[in-house]
Amino acid sequence: MPKPLTLGSATAQPGTIQYGRWEALSHPTGHVEFLPVIIAQGKQDGPCIWLTAGIHGPEHAGPAVLYKLITHELVDRLKGTIVAIPALSPAGLRTMKREPYHAPTDPNRLWPDGKPPKPQDPDKDHPSSLEKAYQRLFDEIVASADYVIDYHCAWTDSISFVFRDRVLYRADENSENNKAEAEALAAKQGEMIRAYGHTVVTEFPVEKYIDEKLHRSSTGAALLVGRIPSFTVELGTGHMPDPRIVHASVVGTRNVLRWAGLLDGEPEPIKGIPIIDPGYRVRRMQTPRVSEACVALHLVEAGDTVKVGDPVAEVRDIWGRPVGDGWLRSEHEGFILGRSHGIYFYPGDAVLCTAVRDDAPLVGPYPPDYFKD
């Protein structure tokens, strides 16, 4: 028999889909913000996978994937349990804002960081109700999840791809043990990502990754603190889900379920979207950037390959005259992930997000001072 599992008001029942609410926080107006919970459980025992979406208000493709994925036909064949939350930030989804009005910061930077607790500094802001809610939800994830996927959207007309977080370990007296465990976790994460079958992009190198607080994203925390194989999915443009990308993500997720032992059968082919493998590992980089205020007219689209020196945009002034030699050129070999929104740019703005060659290790130590902060 499958393992019992309750989240909020939803309790798993073998062979069914159960729906409920998980109370996240209270508003001063007297009402309670809840997260919608879906628990799909097969009649046979198996792993538990958490699928989450909707943490950024403008990103609507992820919830669509969950609604298309979780059906009674799927449950009839399921071994184990799916816990799905299609709205991690209901306030953001209501207003279509990345930051919810009651906690004006990126909600995907509020998850546990693994550092030991310390007394609250009275001169610094206290954790918001949302951060406290995510801490409680994270405890639920760690208690039951064998795997985690979080669904997002990226840039204008971006392709469907996976962000692979690097796996960090603590370089202390148990460093060798910690490294071996991190390498095993990275290997399992890699298998899971390959099962999903979409384009793979590694996250920033460690220093930039931590500067951007990506270790405090939902899947960053699940991977690094919970030590649960996890990854982030990026599903094209946010406001208007692309049906082809949504379908390809549903298929990719079913393939992960097969890999993990929640479904039987052979993997399904991923169709309808570009899948790019340049033959070397890549990581994301906001590049190229303009050197002066200008109008940039893109010459490339997401999925296009580029070499150093290739023109990627025309650059003009507001009257349409060329700025400099009139071209913005690629500074790296790789392929285009997505375009920055709009055509008007200030000095230093990135016009594109590009996947460039990544030579940094996938497994490495935390910075020396990380646990001392």
Q: What is the CATH number of the domain that holds 16?
A: 3.40.630.10
Q: 277, 294, 311 — which closes off a domain?
A: 277
Number of domains present in the structure of the chain: 2
pLDDT digits (tens, 9 = 90+) for 127-156: 999 999 999 999 999 999 999 999 999 988
- Alpha-carbon span 78 to 204, nearest angstrom: 35
- Residue 239 pLDDT: 80
Query: Are 81 and 226 within one domain?
Result: yes
Query: Are 259 and 304 within one domain?
Result: no
- Alpha-carbon span 178 to 70, nearest angstrom: 37
Are 54 and 93 contacting, i.e. CB atoms less than 8 angstroms apart? yes
- Residue 125 pLDDT: 82
Q: What is the mean pLDDT of residues 221-246?
A: 95
pLDDT digits (tens, 9 = 90+) for 48-58: 999 999 999 99
- Alpha-carbon span 159 to 284, nearest angstrom: 13
Query: Are 116 and 153 within one domain?
Result: yes
Are 309 and 327 contacting, i.e. CB atoms less than 8 angstroms apart? no
**CA proximity to 367, closest of 169, 114, 130:** 169
For 92, half-sphere exposure in the C-beta direction (CA atoms, 13 angstrom radius) is: 26
Residues of the chain above pLDDT 90, percent: 93
Taking the whole predicted model, whether its pTM rises above 0.85 is answered as yes
- Residue 373 pLDDT: 60
Strands 199-202 and 160-164: parallel
Q: 277, 301, 320 — which closes off a domain?
A: 277
Range of the domain at 290: 282-357
Residue 92 lies in a domain: yes
- Alpha-carbon span 163 to 161, nearest angstrom: 7
Residue 69 lies in a domain: yes
Query: Are 270 and 308 within one domain?
Result: no
What the block records as the tokens of 72 is 């009674």
pLDDT digits (tens, 9 = 90+) for 280-296: 999 999 999 999 999 99
Residue 368 lies in a domain: no
Would you give the distance in Å from CA 222 to the centre of its chain? 11
Residue 32 lies in a domain: yes
Burial class of residue 325 (count of CB atoms within 10 Å of its CB; 0-12, 13-18, 19+): exposed
Residue 363 lies in a domain: no
Check which CATH number belongs to the domain holding 317 and give it. Answer: 2.40.50.100
Query: How many residues make up the chain in this entry?
Result: 373
- Residue 120 pLDDT: 85
Residue 60 lies in a domain: yes
Residue 119 lies in a domain: yes
19 strand-pairing partners: 38
Query: Are 212 and 252 within one domain?
Result: yes
Q: What is the mean pLDDT of residues 74-80?
A: 98
Query: Are 236 and 348 within one domain?
Result: no
Residue 78 lies in a domain: yes
Average pLDDT score, the chain? 96
Query: Are 250 and 325 within one domain?
Result: no
**CA proximity to 74, closest of 63, 64, 66:** 66
Query: Are 265 and 304 within one domain?
Result: no
- Alpha-carbon span 177 to 184, nearest angstrom: 11
- Residue 11 pLDDT: 98
Q: What is the mean pLDDT of residues 12-23?
A: 98
Query: Are 246 and 291 within one domain?
Result: no
DSSP per residue, 27-93: -TTS-EEEEEEEEEE-SEEEEEEEEEE-SSTT--HHHHHHHHH--HHHHHH-EEEEEEES-S-HHHH
Query: Are 63 and 126 within one domain?
Result: yes
What the block records as the tokens of 159 is 């392709």
